[in-house]
Amino acid sequence: MRVGIIGAGAVGTGMGLLLSRRGYTIAGVSSRTMASAERAAARLNCPAFADPETVARRSEIVFITTTDRAIGPVAAAIAGRGGFRPGQTVIHMSGSLTSAVLDPARQAGALALALHPLQSCADADMAVANLPGSVFSLEGDREALPLGERLVNDLEGEYFIISPEAKPLYHAAACVASNYLVSIVDLSYRLMQAAGMAPDMVARALAPLIEGTWGNIKEKGVPRALTGPIARGDVATIASHLQAMAARAPELEEIYRAVGRYTIGVAGRKGSLNASRAALLGQLLANSRGKSPFRVPGRSPNKKRS
């Protein structure tokens, strides 16, 4: 089948490379700039075009892999110039948008499909390495789903069908697992630096802990992988964390409290935290900065260290 790539970023170029290795013909590529299209075309061994409608006309499968905000306008522009027709399937790979953004293609007689990988791709080479074996969500025209299933199978992946209404919640879950995970690791890095560790040592020090935790999650699942002071109901240790943060990293205390409150629920599901300890931890983590009712023996909550 002839495939067109419109939007030569990491995912578009990566998908083109993967599909070309699996017997698909890359009919052409276009991008926001001709230079970008030509770079991708050199890797994909296909022609580059300045206008996306030419790529669409040459293709049976049209991937619109632009930024999310450009998908709708690009689809409308191609439709307005006669680039879509019956017999085509037009695909976007956005996690947050539904296939409704491709309605201009539908109105021209093409099928529309949203095909999203639960994967992080910082560049085309990473996309080539990471996309195979991933889980993909499929949403769109019923007649387009078999093609989506075929594409996923060709990438040795798994798929599930999602409703348009569930797409925002699905994307929120993906953001937490990918984007917010980076933020949580950054929080840990900053706390470790506030404790006095050299910045160039922090990544080396925490990497084995992070990798070991992920190994526990894969082996035991959530919530059984949870360990630490909240899992065992250690109120005094959490109080000491808050006192130290108030003195040395007050700007990080609010997010620590919020994540801690959520962790109480995880510990409850694990069954390692009784109701009374959960209540004490909830009270401790809910109090505003510097007003903890708990005091760690030998420490003054209001006295900063020198």
In the block, which residue shows the tokens 């510097």? Answer: 290
pLDDT at site 122 = 86
> In Å, how far from its chain's centre is CA 220?
23
Going by C-alpha positions, the residue among 56, 38, 36 that lies closest to residue 47 is 38
What confidence score (pLDDT) does residue 301 get?
Answer: 41
Cβ partners under 8 Å of residue 63, min gap 6: 3, 4, 5, 6, 7, 12, 15, 16, 91, 92, 93
Q: List the domains of the chain with CATH numbers.
A: 2-162 (3.40.50.720), 170-286 (1.10.1040)
Q: What is the 3-state secondary structure (H, E, C) of 172-184?
A: HHHHHHHHHHHHH
Low-confidence ranges of the chain (pLDDT < 50): 290, 292-306
pLDDT of 80: 98
Token pair listed for 35: 């230079």
The pairing of beta strand 61-64 with beta strand 89-92: parallel
pTM: 0.84
What pLDDT is stored for residue 120 in this prediction?
87
In this prediction, residue 303 carries a pLDDT of 43
197-245 pLDDT, tens digit each: 999 999 999 999 999 999 999 999 999 999 999 999 999 999 999 999 9
> Under a CB-based contact definition with an 8 Å cutoff, are residues 88 and 61 in contact?
yes
Query: Mind giving me the DSSP string for the chain?
Result: -EEEEES-SHHHHHHHHHHHTTT-EEEEEE-SSHHHHHHHHHHHTS-B-SSHHHHHHT-SEEEE-S-HHHHHHHHHHHHHTT---TT-EEEE--SS--GGGGHHHHHTT-EEEEEEES---SSHHHHHHHSTT-EEEEEE-GGGHHHHHHHHHHTT-EEEE--GGGHHHHHHHHHIIIIIHHHHHHHHHHHHHHTT--HHHHHHHHHHHHHHHHHHHHHH-TTTT--STTTTT-HHHHHHHHHHHHHH-GGGHHHHHHHHHHHHHHHHHHT-S-HHHHHHHHHHHHSPTT--S---TT--TTPPP-
Structure tokens at 25: 């013909």
